[in-house]
Amino acid sequence: MSNDDTDASLSARNINFSFGCKAVLEDVQIAVPNGQFVALLGQNGAGKTTLFSIITGLYAAHGGEIRIGGHDLRMNTEAALASIGVVFQRATLDRDLTVKQNLRYFCHLHGIATSELQKRIDAALASYGLSDLQQRKVTELSGGQQRRIELARATLHDPNFLLLDEPTVGLDHANRMEFVSNVKTLCKERNVGVLWATHLMDEVEDADYVYFLHHGKILFEGGSADLLKEHGKKSIAELYSHLTGQPADATVI
């Protein structure tokens, strides 16, 4: 996918990163246009989480350029980070607090005006059918509810780019599919670009675009329908297996 569109949700070019002598990412290029659902597939250890840490500014890349919502991450870090909504692989809700307290905390971190804060929380929770959970402690919620609250939280500041790092790990099939459906709706209705990292194939069967990250490099990329047609495969799992030579079943690499 072209990286030239500076208004894209995300444009990452020539990203390199290493831990000591060990290269973790080599010349990675990724673009996520507005309103598209882009999948980043790779086995554990492929470099997905490191790439996400770089995109969110937790690590600094050793080379390359990242633009988020048109803002250069290195030169204009705050504006770039303001454009991102993130759902991390690990739960980041504070277990000592209620749902409402967690969401208010997030709103404060993003400078959302006090007058508007509650309205946004109500709207975000309502859109995922979670309104009745506001006063509940995080520890009282199921895993699926917690992840959906994290998704609702990630949208409170109206980001134009969503980054999801294996957000469904630990959820059962029904909850995973519900979560995927929520994200796709968000993507289309709000024109938000989504980068979804996963090793669970069935979640990204109809992604707009797919990147295969293998040992820190983008091995293949393309529109999922085009790639399937080109290689004569019926599913992303089959395609992954075909392209990487790694076994993959229907849901898990």
The residues of the shown chain that bind another protein, judged by CB under 8 A, are 19, 22, 24, 44-50, 53, 56-60, 77-82, 84, 86, 88-94, 96-97, 101, 104-114, 216
Residue type, 156: L
Report the C-alpha gap between 106 and 174 in whole angstroms: 28
Residue 137 gets the label, from left (phi > 0), alpha (psi -120 to 50) or beta, of beta
Q: Which is nearer to another protein, 101 or 127 (CB)?
A: 101
- In angstroms, give the least distance from the CB of 140 to another protein: 14
For residue 117, how far is the Cα from the chain centroid? 24
Who's near 227: CB < 8 A, 6+ residues apart? Answer: 210, 220, 233, 239
Q: Which is nearer to another protein, 76 or 235 (CB)?
A: 76
* Maximum alpha-carbon separation in the chain: 55
- In angstroms, give the least distance from the CB of 26 to another protein: 13
Q: Which is nearer to another protein, 96 or 226 (CB)?
A: 96
Q: Which is nearer to another protein, 101 or 235 (CB)?
A: 101
The closest alpha carbon to 200, from 154, 223, 167, 245, belongs to 167
Q: Which is nearer to another protein, 153 or 176 (CB)?
A: 153
- In angstroms, give the least distance from the CB of 216 to another protein: 8
- In angstroms, give the least distance from the CB of 83 to another protein: 8
